[in-house]
Amino acid sequence: MSDTETDTSREPEELSAAGSQLSTAPLEESASAPPGLGVIGWARWFWRQLTSMRVALLLLLLLSLGAIPGSLIPQTGADINKVADFRKAHTTLAPLYDRLGLFHVYSSVWFSAIYILLFVSLIGCIVPRTWQFVGQLRGRPPGAPRRLDRLPAHTTWRTTADPEQVREAALALLKRRRFRAHPAGDAVAAEKGYLREVGNLAFHIALIVLLVAFASGQLYKSDGNKLMVEGDGFANALPMYDDFKSGSLFQTQDLVPFSFDLKKFTGTYETSGPNRGTPRTYEAKITYRVGAYGKEKATTVKVNEPLRIGDSKVYLVSHGYAPVVTVRDGSGKVVYHDAVPLLPLDGNVTSNGVVKVMDGYRDARGKADQLGFQAFFVPTFDPRAGTMLSQFPALVNPLLAVNAYHGDLGVNSGRPQSVYQLDTSRMKQFKDAKGQQLKKLLRPGDTLTLPDGAGSLTFDKDIKQWAGFEIVQEPGSGWALGGAVVAILGLAASLFIQRRRVWVRAVTGPDGVTVVEMAGLGRSESAKVPEELGDLAARLYEQAPGAPAEPDPTTRAVPAEGAEK
């Protein structure tokens, strides 16, 4: 990435040798003239095109273009409900989008094609460059060009010191400055800044590592949700999850063995001001055990602080209330006593849900039946608000509204059904004295009595909370992080380190006085190259002090023909 600012290697040919291999950036070839060489020729042409900088750039641009629709069109990976809404709203567009994979852009064929091509192109670029760089490291910096004064930075002076002395001093000086320096004929050739190339290659390789880590993470990941009421336990096994998604190469035995119990959930909220009700803290106190027989440990899971066990992470993602209700049958026997998790409908945790009493219940005549209650719950009921909706997310004035059904819940039909919805198609409403549907608002401790001795439902004083956990396993994230760190370091090295060459030539001039010439060449036209050259020249000047200038300036500075032995 970004090898140069201004490529100086396109100087007249005498400089091209000096500037050769100052980087491993490929030469740009013209894209014209596909060869008429049959399959192999075409394959080679295609490969050369693919690995050319221009195509790599185009692919990079395409990648960013391709990422745009995914940010504007609802994505199944992010929010399935939104996609469903979109489908309903746009009946003509949706099938078209479906065909183009626009509801799952980042796993679509065409998006994958772009980045796979890009990475093939990248590999096709890195491999030859790495070999070239290894060759450069094994070789030596090229010798001095004949005309040093043609280089971007140049200086010269006449000195009383011998040419050999000057060259020796220059070699020592350059080596001290950690240049790779060697004497070459009448000059010393030196080069520095190889870390730029190392950084550049490291950056590109790190990108590949990052992609592979990301891709394998997608293939081997697993991701499930579990809703737990305070006091519930969870063991990390497939049947325990409420819902579960996994990558295509995931296997059940990959699940990290651990278990945990939710002890207590705490949520606090802003009590005043314009943002009244905005959550301030969410935390779940849990105890967990690693492995089947691990020691029990206590910890707190917060929004930004998941519990990490091996490759697995446990996140706190949602919460709500679970009022405890007790249902009695006609004889007064308790047939149901449990916390009922209700799903929040808004930010103030207005919630709803159902209570299903499946077995054990007998009606007034002693006949087995099933009961269903639709529950609507508000943690803070405010009669002044003029609405049943909750006015605050904490338990200030809880109220539970219930109605009741009896009949067949449909749970034995074999069809899956939601635990939060009541299928009333084969159930009958309980009626009140006026023949209306039986409904009642309950405060904690209140009881709804069913008519004709059919039993009762009590809203217990103990209101529990539930917490929703997401358990994510994404292997390879360590590799991704490592790749990212190397990418940044490599990028910084390739952008901030200058690769440059310095030559020092010392020859005896026609009048017997030594002429020293120094020149610097950088891959980019940077002010640092002349600066450094000036500094080096000043140091060398101390050891090879100036001689009085010769009387005739026209013959100086240019070394005699053949000075380059």
Partner 1 sequence: MTLAAATDLAAATNEHLANISNTLIYSSMAVYTLAFFAHILEWLFGSRSKVARTAAALTAGGSRPAAKGAPAVTVQQGGSTTVLERPQVVVRAAAGARDVPDGPGAHGGDVQGDLFGRVAVSLTVLAFLVELAGVAARAASVQRAPWGNMYEFNITFSTVAVAVYLTLLALKKNVRWLGLFLVTTVLLDLGLAVTVLYTASDQLVPALHSYWLYIHVSTAIFCGAVFYVGAVATILYLFKDSYEAKLQAGGKPGTFATSVLERLPASASLDKFAYRVNAAVFPLWTFTIIAGAIWAGDAWGRYWNWDPKETWSFITWVAYACYLHARATAGWKGRKAAYLAMLAFACWLFNYYGVNIFVTGKHSYAGV
Gyration radius (Cα) of the chain, Å: 39
Q: Which of residues 494-533 bind partner 1 (CB under 8 A)?
A: 495-496, 516, 518, 525, 530, 533
Binding mask 316-335 for partner 1 (x = CB under 8 A): -x------------------
Minimal distance, residue 432 CB to partner 1, in Å: 42
* Residue 118 CB coordination number (10 Å): 20
- The correct pick among 175, 313, 362, 440 for binding partner 1 (CB under 8 A) is 313
Distance between CA 234 and CA 240 in Å, rounded? 7
- The correct pick among 119, 194, 214, 479 for binding partner 1 (CB under 8 A) is 214
Q: Residue 541, interface with partner 1 (CB under 8 A)?
A: yes
Minimal distance, residue 96 CB to partner 1, in Å: 21
Contact 103, 76 (CB under 8 A): yes
Binding mask 463-482 for partner 1 (x = CB under 8 A): -------x-x-x--x--xx-
Minimal distance, residue 5 CB to partner 1, in Å: 6
Helix axes 195-220, 477-496, angle to 10 degrees: 160
Nearer to partner 1, 115 or 373 (CB): 115
Nearer to partner 1, 427 or 533 (CB): 533
Nearer to partner 1, 165 or 374 (CB): 165
Q: How far is CA 533 from CA 11, 51, 496, 549, in A?
A: 20, 36, 18, 21
Q: Residue 102, interface with partner 1 (CB under 8 A)?
A: no
Side chain identity at residue 307, one-letter code:
L
Distance between CA 302 and CA 297 in Å, rounded? 16
Nearer to partner 1, 357 or 472 (CB): 472
Nearer to partner 1, 56 or 399 (CB): 56
Query: If we measure between CA atoms, which residue out of 380, 375, 403 comes closest to residue 390?
Result: 380
- The correct pick among 553, 561, 562, 565 for binding partner 1 (CB under 8 A) is 553
Q: How many residues bind partner 1 (CB under 8 A)?
A: 94
Q: Which residue in this structure is represented by tokens 């000047």?
A: 541
Query: If we measure between CA atoms, which residue out of 343, 339, 364 comes closest to residue 352?
Result: 343
Q: Which residue in this structure is represented by tokens 């446990």?
A: 314
- The correct pick among 63, 389, 394, 513 for binding partner 1 (CB under 8 A) is 63
Tell me what percent of the chain is helix, strand and coil, each rounded to the nearest 5. Answer: 35, 30, 35
Q: Residue 28, interface with partner 1 (CB under 8 A)?
A: yes
* Binding segment toward partner 1, per CB under 8 A, in 154-162, 255-263, 356-364, 399-407: 154-162
Burial profile 387-396: b = 16 or more Cβ within 10 angstroms, e = fewer: eeebbbbbee
Query: What is the torsional sign of CA 332, 335, 339, 341?
Result: negative
- The correct pick among 155, 351, 390, 514 for binding partner 1 (CB under 8 A) is 155
* Binding segment toward partner 1, per CB under 8 A, in 291-299, 376-384, 440-448, 485-493: 485-493
Binding mask 110-149 for partner 1 (x = CB under 8 A): ---------------------------------------x
- The correct pick among 17, 84, 334, 488 for binding partner 1 (CB under 8 A) is 488
Provide the 3-class DSSP secondary structure of residue 60. helix
Provide the 3-class DSSP secondary structure of residue 28. coil
Q: Which of residues 261-300 bind partner 1 (CB under 8 A)?
A: 270-275, 278-282
Contact 123, 208 (CB under 8 A): yes
Distance between CA 438 and CA 275 in Å, rounded? 38
What DSSP designation does 102 have?
A: T
Q: Which of residues 216-235 bind partner 1 (CB under 8 A)?
A: 223
* Binding segment toward partner 1, per CB under 8 A, in 71-79, 422-430, 445-453, 506-514: 71-79
Nearer to partner 1, 299 or 437 (CB): 299
Q: Residue 177, interface with partner 1 (CB under 8 A)?
A: no
Nearer to partner 1, 275 or 412 (CB): 275
Distance between CA 545 and CA 534 in Å, rounded? 15
Distance between CA 264 and CA 251 in Å, rounded? 32
